[in-house]
Amino acid sequence: MKASDIKPITYMKTHSAELVAAVNEKQSPIVITQNGEPRAVVMDVASYDRMQDTLALLKLIAQSEDARRKKRWLTQEQMEAMMRKRFGI
């Protein structure tokens, strides 16, 4: 992270519109510090949405890996039979 991507909270208070414009233009988060310690991150909505989608996908992968380790899965044939029974497909 570059030094320009770290701003004190006083900068955020006095330059909030510029800060929002910068994160939207660069699509790069900015860390806000308070008393020299990181306290918050400001980021554009598109990047936030992508991050949330990525986290959801990673959670699904972790759950799938856990099910595989515990041998809790269905073969394609079992799934098709279940779908036919349940939905009349």
- How much of the chain exceeds pLDDT 90, in percent? 82
Residue 9 and residue 25 share a domain:
yes
Here the CATH number for the domain that contains residue 27 is 3.40.1620.10
Do 50 and 83 lie in one domain? The reply is yes
Domain of 12 in residue numbering reads as 3-43
Q: What is the pLDDT of residues 46-77, one digit of tens each?
A: 999 999 999 999 999 999 999 889 988 888 99
What is the three-class DSSP state of 39?
A: strand
Same domain, 57 and 82: yes
Predicted confidence (pLDDT) at residue 82 exceeds the cutoff of 70: yes
Residues 63 and 83 in one domain: yes
Q: How many domains does the chain contain in total?
A: 2
